[in-house]
Amino acid sequence: MLTGRNILLGISGGIAAYKTPHLVRLLKKSGAEVQVLATGSALKFVSELSLATVSRRPVLTDIFSADTGHESERTMHITLGEWADAFVIAPATANTLAKLSAGLCDDMLSLCFLTLRPGKPVLVAPAMDGHMYDSPSVQRNLAVLTRQGCHVMEPEIGSLASGQCGLGRMPEPETIFEALTEMLAAPKDSALRGKTVVVTAGPTREKIDGVRFLSNYSSGKMGFAIAADAARRGAVVRLVTGPVNLPTPPGVERLDVESAEQMLAAARPLFDGCDLFIGAAAVADYRPEAPVEGKIKKNAAEMELHLVRNPDILATFATGRKPGQLAVGFALETAGGVEYARKKLVDKQLDLVAFNIYDGRTSGFEVDTNALTLLGRDGSVTELPLLPKEEAAGKLLDAIEPLLRR
Active-site residues, by number, are 216
H-state helical runs in 148-293: 173-184, 221-232, 260-267
Cis-peptide, bond into residue 136, ω within 30° of zero: no
Q: Phi, psi at residue 131, to the nearest 5°?
A: -65, -35
Residue 311, annotated ligand binder? yes
The DSSP-derived string for 313-379 is HHHHHHHHPPTT-EEEEEEEESS--HHHHHHHHHHTT-SEEEEEE--SSSSSTTSSEE-EEEEETTS
Q: What count of other Cβ atoms lies within 10 Å of the Cβ of residue 83? A: 16
Residue 322, annotated ligand binder? no
Residue 312, annotated ligand binder? yes
- Exposure class string for 356-389: b at 16+ Cβ within 10 A, else e: bbbeeeebbbebebbbbbbbbeeeeeeebeebeb
In angstroms and rounded to an integer, the radius of gyration of the C-alpha atoms of the chain is 24
Residue 295, annotated ligand binder? yes
Rounded to whole angstroms, the Cα distance separating 113 from 77 reads 9
For the chain, the first-to-last Cα distance in angstroms comes to 33
Q: What count of other Cβ atoms lies within 10 Å of the Cβ of residue 62? A: 13
Residue 384, annotated ligand binder? no
Residue 314, annotated ligand binder? yes
Residue 313, annotated ligand binder? yes
Going by the annotation, the residues of the binding site are: 285, 295, 311-314, 330, 344, 348
Question: Binding site for CTP, residues?
Answer: 285, 295, 311-314, 330, 344, 348
